Structure 1
Amino acid sequence: MFSGSIPALATPFRDGSFAEDQFRALVDWQIDQGSSALVPCGTTGEASTLSNAEHHRVIEVCVEQAAGRVPIIAGCGSNDTTNALLHLTFSKKCGAAAGLVVAPYYNRPNQEGITAHFTTLTESIDLPLVLYNVPARTVTDIQPETVAALSQLPGIVAIKDASGVLDRVTEHRLDCADDFVMLSGVDELSLAFNAAGGIGCISVTANVAPKLCAEFQAACAAGDYAKARELNDVLYPLHKSLFSDASPGPIKYALSRVLPDFSTDLRLPMTPPSEASRKAVDAALEGAGLI
């Protein structure tokens, strides 16, 4: 259902508010550069700092600006099942193709609780769901056997796997439903992830290097791993630099270097990246031919 390079979009702010004009321009640029789908209100989009009204407006603007050119996978995660359903209901109403739902964070449910969370969502709304597993942020980890069971539910179509455990790509491929889509959630592991059976990445780096990331994913899809390795070598320093300080500080800085009108504003508790981080980003952008 989804494949290729899918940026988890940064959310620009100006004077503390959502900078809608900058976001619309980012959406257009991403589509023009070859991104295959877009994710508003993910981790990189600072969803955890948005009010529900802001969260919904960002999704609405993304769907509106994309205007059917690419599918929108709306970030709908919450540690509260009821609130996740609220986000999903709004996303379906405004025309999103799917909802990206992170494993419930902070509460630390067991595997039974995780299963109940996602099962309740699929039973409550007719909108495809993409599981999002990122244990480094949520503490909760969706175990492979739980993913396999959830993949059998008709509403669950894919996973964004940011566990960093590459063995799981093969486990998921062998044990999940035949049409279950596996997307990497870690840019620097995407080459190995795709070789093991993945078909794309929900990416931080694609925010600032959408054309290169789209070309990399196309090479993988074509089985041209020599070309994919060459592109990965170009992108790898950028992947690393974008996490040289707390994300999304470095990616917003990178966007401001490539798109001069893009705001670097962050919401507390996030703060601007360090000088060392900015230097690393500049060097990686230059090495990739982006500045």
Structure 2
Amino acid sequence: MNKLDMLNIKLKGGQFMKNPLFIGSAAAIITPFHDNGVDYATYAELIEFQIKGGSDAILVCGTTGEASTMPDEEHIAVIKFAAEKVNRRVPVIAGTGSNDTRHAIELSKAAEAVGADGILSVTPYYNKTTQKGLYGHFKAIADSIKIPMILYNIPSRTNLNMNPETIQALSEIDNIIAVKECNLGQVGDVVNLCGDDFAVYSGDDNAILPVLSLGGKGVISTMANIIPQDTHDMVMKFFQGDTRGAISLQLKTLNLIKALFSEVNPIPIKAAVNLMGFKVGQCRMPLTELAEDHLELLRQEMKAYGLI
């Protein structure tokens, strides 16, 4: 499959079928900062590390990329840099979500203009909305762009769940092609309602295999920042019929995942990337440095995994 079939809709048996942006692992890449802004030299190194490591797509300016601390000009500049650096070797997906529909539209149109292959858009947080409001919000964004759109359902951060029936209604919009789903309990319902041509991606690294077993197409991953090859291989082994190998990899990652989520993401993953020798700096406030006991746990698990 061509990884950059951005939205290949084909007529099959009277039904339009959508190809996913990717099958496998998309790394939700961190953003390296220094005192004057983004460290683009290190960002380029991280992008090359992901591509060489087997990631099937790169998500920029997501939660892990600290997009919520980026002014719009910086946000779009990072997307543009990533798109140009990747140069269509894998899809670049841009986080462009907002709890203000107009703002989300502006960011999404700008991301398309600078070369993003698709966008990821989160459910509105803080002000929240109804299921009807969710449909209207995401439809307005999708209608404003031509590139594919992935919905992002993460109730633990937004205090708002997008119901399976709402996802089904949105899946009928041509360029809404997938959901990053963090509510594991409804994955099966989403797959049943939306059909096989609508991709469901795990939003949790510790639930990749459960989501795949219910019909998922892969993961948008935090841990892929440090283990891109294993994250990719876990998904591919499953699809190649090596279930035992896929399970073995999922089990191998669990202690590492616990350390990577000992504090709110992306505090631990940024510390982990620093431990691997990339100079990515610290998280922006209000996020703080990883506590010393959690840093020691992370260091131990990374040593056990063979990363440092």
- Once residues 172 and 238 of structure 1 are traced to their aligned partners in structure 2, the CA distance between those partners, rounded to angstroms, is 29
Q: Percent identity?
A: 38
Deviation at 1:225, TM superposition (A): 1.3
Runs of 5+ in structure 2 lacking a partner? 1-19
* Equivalent residues in 2 for 1:130-149, closer than 5 Å: 130-149=150-169
* Equivalent residues in 2 for 1:88-99, closer than 5 Å: 88-99=108-119
CA contact 1:246–1:273 (8 Å) conserved in 2: no
The equivalent of 2:211 in structure 1 is: 193
Once superposed, what is the RMSD of the aligned Cα atoms? Answer: 1.1
The equivalent of 2:255 in structure 1 is: 237
Aligned residues: 288
Deviation at 1:262, TM superposition (A): 2.2
Deviation at 1:120, TM superposition (A): 1.0
CA contact 1:88–1:127 (8 Å) conserved in 2: no
The equivalent of 1:41 in structure 2 is: 61
* Equivalent residues in 2 for 1:250-269, closer than 5 Å: 250-258=268-276, 260-269=277-286
For residue 38 of structure 1, give the secondary structure of its aligned residue in structure 2: strand
CA contact 1:38–1:71 (8 Å) conserved in 2: yes
For residue 152 of structure 2, give the secondary structure of its aligned residue in structure 1: strand
For residue 39 of structure 1, give the secondary structure of its aligned residue in structure 2: strand
Deviation at 1:263, TM superposition (A): 2.1
- 2:230 is the alignment partner of 1:212: yes
Deviation at 1:16, TM superposition (A): 4.7
Q: Deviations over 1:112-139 (max 9, x none)?
A: 1100001111222212110000011111
CA contact 1:102–1:134 (8 Å) conserved in 2: yes
- 2:202 is the alignment partner of 1:184: yes
Moved over 4 A (4+): none
CA contact 2:31–2:280 (8 Å) conserved in 1: no
* Equivalent residues in 2 for 1:12-91, closer than 5 Å: 12-91=32-111
Runs of 5+ in structure 1 lacking a partner? none
For 1:235, give the aligned amino acid. T
CA contact 1:249–1:264 (8 Å) conserved in 2: no
Q: Deviations over 1:9-49 (max 9, x none)?
A: 10010115111111111001100010000000000000100
Q: Deviations over 1:143-194 (max 9, x none)?
A: 111011111111100000012x2x3221111101441001000000111111
Deviation at 1:215, TM superposition (A): 1.2
- Once residues 254 and 77 of structure 2 are traced to their aligned partners in structure 1, the CA distance between those partners, rounded to angstroms, is 33
